[in-house]
């Protein structure tokens, strides 16, 4: 990833190899239309499937949004042609049991159960499952789900050690995610309404 692209990407968990090259192509396109990249993943299912996971800045992602993203990134991928074989493009929302890829994701979902894997040993382990007790500028404090005998009940994991992190589906998570989504959608509708009102006022002023 180039320095400029790296600065534009505030994700702490990023792709490498072919996935990384695709991320570099689609990210500026997403940003230009008001979306942010969550993850790119090229898999061998059904031939080849390119999954692009994205969301709006407020965390929402509708079916119409997925279609908009698909229409926007397809021409860029056709021009750059990073994948030699034929593939199927699949654009999706992060889902409720979403990957956590930004520092802000860990802050947003503090108090919820997470599974994470580290690139280096942290307290003699690389895999953890527990609640995000705290999230600060440098890392997170995980409250272990089931601490083994002799283990500390919490472990601090620095962001630069996290290779992969994902929320674990629980009733609390479903309730909280739906509540956040509803609030975000209401705010988005309100902003759209205010923008439409402003546009109408401008038209009225121009007519008069």
pLDDT tens per residue across span 18-54: 999 999 999 999 999 999 999 999 999 668 999 999 9
Its pTM stands at: 0.85
Q: What is the DSSP secondary-structure string of 81-123?
A: ---SS--EEEEE---TT-B--BHHHHHHTTTSEEEEEEEEEET
Q: In 3D, which of 12, 39, 14, 43 has the Cα closest to residue 1?
A: 14
Q: How far apart are CA 88 and CA 47, in angstroms?
A: 8
**pLDDT (tens digit, 9 = 90+) per residue, 103-116?**
999 999 999 999 99
């Amino acid at each position: 990833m180039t320095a400029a692209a790296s600065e534009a990407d505030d994700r702490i968990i990023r792709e490498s190899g072919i996935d990384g090259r695709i991320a570099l192509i689609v990210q500026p396109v997403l940003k230009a239309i008001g979306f942010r990249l969550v993850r790119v993943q090229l898999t061998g299912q059904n031939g080849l499937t390119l999954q692009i996971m994205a969301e709006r800045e407020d965390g929402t992602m509708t079916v119409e949004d997925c279609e908009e993203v698909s229409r926007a990134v397809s021409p860029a991928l056709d021009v750059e042609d990073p994948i030699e074989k034929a593939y199927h493009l699949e654009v999706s929302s992060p889902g409720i049991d979403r990957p956590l890829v930004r520092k802000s994701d860990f802050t947003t979902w503090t108090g919820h159960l997470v599974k994470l894997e580290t690139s280096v040993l942290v307290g003699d382990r690389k895999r953890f499952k527990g609640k995000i007790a705290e999230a600060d500028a440098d890392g997170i404090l995980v409250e272990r789900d089931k601490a083994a005998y002799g283990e500390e009940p919490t472990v601090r994991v620095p962001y630069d050690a996290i290779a992969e992190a994902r929320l674990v589906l629980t009733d609390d998570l479903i309730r909280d995610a739906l509540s956040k989504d509803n609030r975000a959608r209401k705010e988005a509708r309100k902003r759209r309404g205010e923008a439409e009102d402003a546009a109408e006022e401008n038209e009225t002023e121009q007519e008069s």
